[in-house]
Amino acid sequence: MQAELQSLIDQVRAAHAAGTPLRLQGGDSKSFWVCAQAERTLDIRPYRGVVDYEPSELVLTVRAGTPLSEVEALLGAQGQMLAFEPPHYGPNATLGGTIACGLSGPRRAAAGSARDFVLGVRLIDGLGRDLSFGGQVIKNVAGFDLSRLMAGAFGSLGVITEVSLKVLPRPPFELTLEWALQEGVALERMNQWGGQPLPVSATSFHNGRLRARLSGAEVAVRAAQARLGGEVVADGAAWWSALREQSAACFQTDKPLWRLAVKSSAPPLGLSGALLTEWGGALRWLASEHAASQVQKAACDAGGHALLLRGGHPAAPCFGGLDPILAQIHRRLKHAFDPKGILNPGLPGNF
């Protein structure tokens, strides 16, 4: 694998020397969403495979080009999982792309985000230097935390080549419950549950139905079920999986698909096209033709921000703006990692 790594390093060095921008590509599963404009592509897939996995350490180190499905199968065989339940958006998603995009699925509100599970990264910066930050241990405060910074940086600060992640045991038992409720009441209930010692691992509200997944020891889940009531959903697992991939029927729309991360207790946003709410109220999906500025403003007023995931005008940016001081820090950070701006130019957003 040394040759594959060296090849990636050589390509970045050559691009740096020539000042040629590179489009970083793993399984190409998320290019429908974010895609840097660059003539040359740096294909990460050849650098793949597991570097180290010891289930009792709860730590997995893999090369960035490893398919996400392979990682999940490996963990599943040991009764473990990536607790942030990342979406794949396609059969070829890689672990490197998953971390670079920083996306998390239904378990996010209960277990944490992609960033929360990053323990260390190896990366190639914009100068073509092979660097390692963080490590393979759960507690580590030596130096700035540049590894967690890579989650959600969309490859614009460095080419992730290896990632160490904390992994967790898969819960022995899961059950999905459902109630028919109004949106406002459902939001209230999700927030109340968050403040109670309940084994709720995911929630959703769609089309007048509130759903909650309970995870843990069967006795604990049954006790919570007795307390919460509701109807058991027969195909619960399929629902959370469809939600995780946004492949559920309600996401099949021609309208632009927005993802609004807001304060969990924010009241209904009042925008037409509301599709679905998850993460205990902290993530609201919207399919609507509203102007980007209007959606951004609604998200901002609710304490968060909005990302355009799909559809809309080709020129409409996926990302909202930043305040001028933060934008300046972003520019300087980008310059620190990638002085010639060759790595995924334009991501994440213009600042």
Partner 1 sequence: MTAPISQAQIASALSRWLAPGSVLTNPEDVRPFETDGLSAYRQLPYVVVLPRTEAEVQAVLRYCHEAHIPVVARGSGTGLSGGALPHKDGVLLSLSRFMRILEIDPQARVARVQPGVRNLAISEAVAPYGLYYAPDPSSQIACSIGGNVAENSGGVHCLKYGLTVHNLVKVRAVTMAGEVVELGSDGLDAAGYDLMALITGSEGLLAVVTEVTVKLLPKPQTAKAILAAFDDVEKAGNAVANIIAAGIIPAGLEMMDGPATRAAEAFVHADYPLSAEAVLLCESDGTPEEVSDEMARMQALLESSGAIEIRYSQDEAQRLKFWAGRKAAFPAVGRLSPDYYCIDGTIPRRSLGSVLKRIYELGREYGLEVANVFHAGDGNLHPLILFDAAKPGEFERTEAFAGKILELCVEVGGTITGEHGVGVEKINQMCVQFTPDELSLFHAVKAAFDPEGLLNPGKAVPTLHRCAEMGRMHVHHNELPHPELPRF
Residues 252-281 that bind partner 1 (CB under 8 A): 260-266, 279
Amino acid at 160: I
> Binding residue for partner 1 (CB under 8 A) from 62, 93, 157, 165?
157
In angstroms, what is the minimal distance from the CB of 66 to partner 1? Answer: 20
- By CB under 8 A, is residue 282 in contact with partner 1? yes
> Left, alpha or beta for 195 (phi > 0: left; psi -120 to 50: alpha)?
alpha
> Binding residue for partner 1 (CB under 8 A) from 2, 3, 19, 197?
197
- By CB under 8 A, is residue 317 in contact with partner 1? no
Which distant-in-sequence residues (6+ apart) come within 8 Å of 74 by Cβ? 50, 53, 60
Q: How many binding residues for partner 1 (CB under 8 A)?
A: 89
Stretch that binds partner 1, among 16-24, 85-93, 140-148, 228-236 (CB under 8 A): 140-148
In angstroms, what is the minimal distance from the CB of 340 to partner 1? Answer: 14
Nearer to partner 1, 238 or 291 (CB): 291
Of 94, 93, 134, residue with least CA distance to 117 = 134
Q: Which residue is listed with tokens 């195909």?
A: 235
Q: Which residue is listed with tokens 């006795």?
A: 219
* Of residues 319-338, those binding partner 1 (CB under 8 A): 319-323, 325-326, 329-330, 332-333, 335-337
The string of DSSP codes covering 134-175 is: E-SSS---SS--HHHHHTTSTTSS-EEEEEEEE-EEPPSEEE
Q: How many CB atoms lie within 10 A of CB 254?
A: 9
Residues 89 and 69: their CA atoms lie apart, in Å, by 11
Q: Which DSSP state fits 51?
A: E
Q: Which two tokens stand for residue 173?
A: 């038992």
* Of residues 85-114, those binding partner 1 (CB under 8 A): 102, 108-109, 112-113
- By CB under 8 A, is residue 196 in contact with partner 1? yes
> Binding residue for partner 1 (CB under 8 A) from 49, 169, 208, 267?
169
- By CB under 8 A, is residue 346 in contact with partner 1? no
Residues 204 and 128: their CA atoms lie apart, in Å, by 43
Nearer to partner 1, 315 or 325 (CB): 325
In this structure, the strands spanning 305-310 and 257-261 are: antiparallel
Q: Which residues pair with 209 in a beta bridge?
A: 180, 206
In angstroms, what is the minimal distance from the CB of 148 to partner 1? Answer: 4
- By CB under 8 A, is residue 58 in contact with partner 1? yes
Stretch that binds partner 1, among 43-51, 141-149, 230-238, 267-275 (CB under 8 A): 141-149
In angstroms, what is the minimal distance from the CB of 198 to partner 1? Answer: 8
